[in-house]
Amino acid sequence: MRPCIVKWEDADKNEWDFFVRQNSMGYAFHLYDVVHLHHWRSFKNRSFCIVDLDRKSEIVLIVRLHERHREVDDTYYLSSQWGFVLKDSLAKKELRKLMECFREYIDSIIEADNVKSYDISFPALTRYMSSEGSMINPAINFGFRPAIQYTWVKGMRGDTEQLLGECDQNTRRRIRSIASEGRYTVFQPELNEKSLDEFYRMHKETYVRTHHERLLIDRDYFEYIWYKLAKEGVVTIFFCRDNNTGEPIDSIITINFDNTGYYWYGASLDGIDGSVNRYLHWKAMIQCKEDYSARTGKDDFTYETGAAFPYLRNGKEKRISDFKRSFATELGVRHIGEYVMKDDPQELNES
């Protein structure tokens, strides 16, 4: 193997996406049109791939990488949210050369920009995570100190009534109550300026309501989702309309890949009934499953509702985690890690 770094902007989109879909660590976040997207404007895209010159420049690794410059103290940070995609079934000798190339390139960025830290995380719904080797954090051999997080995942085999019956009693009751009332309609909006305006209003109200105004995401980020990713079918957008007013009051954006869906974003107007939000989530989950089954004729769909904190006793994160668990989800694993810098003392606390 003769590994060579190729920056994202210099890579071939079709070859990139083919690699993502063919290898078990690939997910929607690694696709060429998604990989550069970061919700903070301060993060610069530095994503890249490594090709093997001995294999006619075939891609062997794709890395989603962003760099943040914090102006207040002139410091830099690297992040690989959603991690990397490694070519399946590389020989051990090839893998060693690839890891050396990766670390040399990352170390060069760290040295040039005086980077303070580099974190990485991986999706839970890849084929790799359902394989026998999933207990091994793939970051460990690339210079990261490994750790794990947990998320809520729902296997969705079976018909709609069966799946609803698996939800907790309170969630079943609230979903059925909203459905029988007939006041609310869940639909996929037209991808135009009006629906984008409606979503962004909900986005702003959600962040103000939860006292996270400083975390508001720029509108052009969602423009890209609307007019690029949604039109290409990478994401699906759901609105819930109050039929009494004709106004959308709640929304969800899912990102889709193979036989999976991931709850990516949600936003709502102030004052909506919590039952409406459960109803919207439920309808979105079912629609994602039905869309997949219609395309493939299969019934092996899996949906991820997001971060899990079952150990918490109280607080906002516990309430959100309990909400995501209420759809009869189970715990799934997300591998994460922190890059070991050259000047790291590398002292471990062992007992």
pLDDT at 281: 97
pLDDT at 118: 97
pLDDT at 351: 47
Q: Per-residue confidence of the chain (351 residues) as pLDDT tens digits?
A: 999 999 999 999 999 999 999 999 999 999 999 998 988 877 899 999 999 999 999 999 999 999 998 888 889 999 999 999 999 999 999 999 999 999 999 999 999 999 999 999 999 999 999 998 899 999 999 999 999 999 999 999 999 999 999 999 999 999 999 999 999 999 999 999 999 999 999 999 998 887 788 888 999 999 999 999 999 999 999 999 999 999 999 999 999 999 999 999 999 999 888 899 999 999 999 999 999 999 999 999 999 999 999 999 999 899 999 999 999 999 999 999 999 998 776 665 554
pLDDT at 114: 92
Q: How far is CA 197 from the centre of its chain?
A: 23
Contacts of 38 (CB under 8 A, 6+ apart): 45, 66, 81
Contacts of 198 (CB under 8 A, 6+ apart): 189, 239, 248, 251
Question: Using H for helix, E for strand and C for coil, what is the string for the chain?
Answer: CCEEEEEHHHCCHHHHHHHHHHCCCCCHHHCHHHHCCCCCCCEEECCEEEEEHHHCCEEEEEECCEEEEECCCCEEEEEECCCEEECCCCCHHHHHHHHHHHHHHHHHHHHHHCEEEEEEECCCCCCHHHCHHHHCCCCHHHCEEEEEEEEEEEECCCCHHHHHHHCCHHHHHHHHHHHHHCCEEEECCCCCHHHHHHHHHHHHHHHHHCCCHHHCCCHHHHHHHHHHHCCCCCEEEEEEEECCCCEEEEEEEEEEECCEEEEEEEEECCCCCHHHHHHHHHHHHHHHHHHHHHHHCCCCCEEEEEECCCCCCCCHHHHHHHHHHCCCCEEEEEEEEEECCCCCCCCCCCC
pLDDT at 346: 64
pLDDT at 348: 57
Q: What is the pTM of this model?
A: 0.93
Distance CA 128, CA 88 (A): 9
Q: What separation in angstroms does the CA of 23 have from each of 20, 126, 166, 324? A: 6, 9, 33, 29
Q: Which residue in 118, 159, 188, 186 sits closest to 301, CA to CA?
A: 159
pLDDT at 344: 74
